[in-house]
Amino acid sequence: MEIWEFMLVVMRAQATDEQVRNVVETITSIGLKAHEIPGSQRTAIGITGNKGELDPAVFELLPGVAEAIRVSKPYKLVSWEVKTEPTIVKVGSVEIGSGDLVVIAGPCSVESHEQTFAVAEAVSRQGIKLFRGGAYKPRTSPYSFQGHGEDGLKLLAEVRDAFGLAIVTEAIDQESLELVEKYADMIQIGARNMQNFSLLRQAGQMRKPVMLKRGMSANLEEFLMAAEYIMAEGNYQVVLCERGIRTFADHSRNTLDLSVVPAVKKLTHLPIIIDPSHGTGRREQVIPMARAGIAVGADGVMVEVHCQPERAWSDGPQALLPSMFADMMQQLKEIHNVVSNLTVASAK
Ligand code: PEP
Ligand code: MN
């Protein structure tokens, strides 16, 4: 079997930028891919693309290098072994993973100018900075509304200009990926595409941050490996999103797996948000589960909001009304305060 080895070159704390550049150039000159991973103490450089074993001594002899280590765990770029500080993903003015409470809100689908602007107005009044809305909708039935495509993206770009909101929206294939990269601020990869490896690789070549939703039957390893695909291509701005998994339970659309949050935090430096809208599918369950998500340590939540859910073109039963969204924001701020203070207390 062909083994693709991953090696991590750890620079000395005092290493100069030039020494880092020299290591990167050495790696690329022998046909391998270098992944620069800056940290506050020192820089590390991951090496991928090598078939067979690499000799650590080749890199340890380079000036400024502290050590070169083989990473044998399945998780490489996503793991704490490779990056010892939490990743903060910047989207517009928001820093996901910084400890701030992050809320992404908006309708399931972009339906019309009037509907999208009404929701944007309502959610931005609550101080949120990230707006969601689907222009490409992966639907169970080919006869259901599939999204407005590029026209929907243009509407979202208008929302950004009108309300100062950064845009998160889904791409479903290469064509939509390129358009989403052009119009939006963050690329969403949906649950159904979590193991669409060619799409993941293409998203890895984009320069916008990616929100990767957990597949509905993916275990944690598969979830993190999907993130690894994106990062292996050089895009390190990845946010994970738990959106519920399939179980036998029928009191909710999916089962929001909140225990994945501490499990993710143990294995990876990447931020994770939760989506209690798709996670429950039922309006009355969304706010309690959003509260629970923040309590369990998620970096944020994403929820669907609609001014007339009974008329929504998709996912009406799980959409919050603006007044409910306002209540949720208040509650999440209170819970987030408690959780932040707990973290500080236990760190002392
Ligand atoms: C969505 O967020 O619009 C969506 C379709 O979610 P998921 O991929 O989690 O089903
Ligand atoms: Mn939806």
For residue 41, give its domain range.
Answer: 4-70
Instruction: Note the pLDDT of residue 39.
Output: 87
**Are 36 and 94 within one domain?**
no
pLDDT at 346 over 90: no
CATH number at residue 261: 3.20.20.70
- Checking if the pLDDT of 28 tops 80, the result is yes
With pLDDT > 90 as the criterion, what percentage of the chain qualifies? 91
Same domain, 192 and 307: yes
Pocket test for ligand 1, best of 140, 167, 213 (most atoms within 8 A of CB): 213
User: Would you say 1 and 51 are in contact if contact means Cβ atoms under 8 Å apart?
Assistant: no
Q: What is the DSSP letter of 79?
A: B
Expressed in angstroms and rounded, the spacing between residue 38 Cα and the centre of ligand 1 is: 32
pLDDT of residue 344: 74
Residues 115, 158 within the same domain:
yes
CB-CB neighbours of 255 under 10 Å: 16
332-346 mean pLDDT: 90
Residue 75 lies in a domain: no
Using pLDDT thresholds of 50, 70 and 90, give the confidence band for residue 5: confident
80: in domain: no
What pLDDT, on a 0 to 100 scale, did the predictor assign at position 3? 60
pLDDT band of residue 208 (cuts 50, 70, 90) is very high
CB-based contacts of 84, cutoff 8 Å, min separation 6 = 39, 41, 269
- 4-11: strand order across its sheet: 33-37, 44-51, 4-11, 65-71
- Measured CA to CA, the distance from residue 259 to residue 28 in angstroms comes to 40
Residue 77 lies in a domain: no
Q: According to the model, what pLDDT value does residue 347 have? A: 67
Whole-number Å distance, alpha carbon 191 to ligand 1 midpoint, is 6
Ligand 1 site-directed mutation target among 146, 212, 243, 280, most atoms within 8 Å of CB = 243
Does the structure show a pLDDT above 90 at 1?
no
116-133 pLDDT, tens per residue?
A: 999 999 999 999 999 999
Q: What is the pLDDT of residues 212-245, one digit of tens each?
A: 999 999 999 999 999 999 999 999 999 999 999 9
| Percent of the chain whose pLDDT exceeds 70 | 98
Instruction: Using the 3D structure, point to which of 15, 35, 70 is the last residue of a domain.
Output: 70
- CATH number for position 19: 3.30.70.1140
Q: Do 118 and 217 belong together in one domain?
A: yes
Stated pTM of the model: 0.96
Same domain? 51 vs 130: no
Asked if residue 294 has pLDDT above 90, the reply is yes
Residue 134 lies in a domain: yes
Closest-approaching ligand to the CA atom of 302: 1
Identify the pLDDT of residue 13.
Answer: 94
Are 223 and 172 in a shared domain?
Answer: yes
Separation of alpha carbons 99 and 119, rounded Å: 26
Tell me what the mean pLDDT of segment 18-23 comes to: 97
CB contact at 8 A, 291 and 335: yes
Question: Total structural domains in the chain?
Answer: 2
Minimum CA distance residue for ligand 1 atom 5 = 190
Any domain includes 208: yes
Is residue 60 in a domain?
Answer: yes
Euclidean distance between CA atoms 97 and 81, whole angstroms: 18
Instruction: Let me know whether 114 and 50 are in one domain.
Output: no
In terms of domains, do 271 and 225 share one? yes
Distance 304 CA to ligand 2 centre (A): 7
Of ligand 1's atoms, which has the minimum distance to the CA of residue 134?
3
| pLDDT the model gives residue 72 | 82
pLDDT at 348: 59
341 and 296 housed in the same domain: yes
d(CA 151, CA 142): 20
Residues 143 and 213 placed together within one structural domain of the fold: yes
Confidence of residue 52 (pLDDT cuts 50, 70, 90): confident
DSSP per-residue letters across 141-166: STTS----THHHHHHHHHHHHHH--E
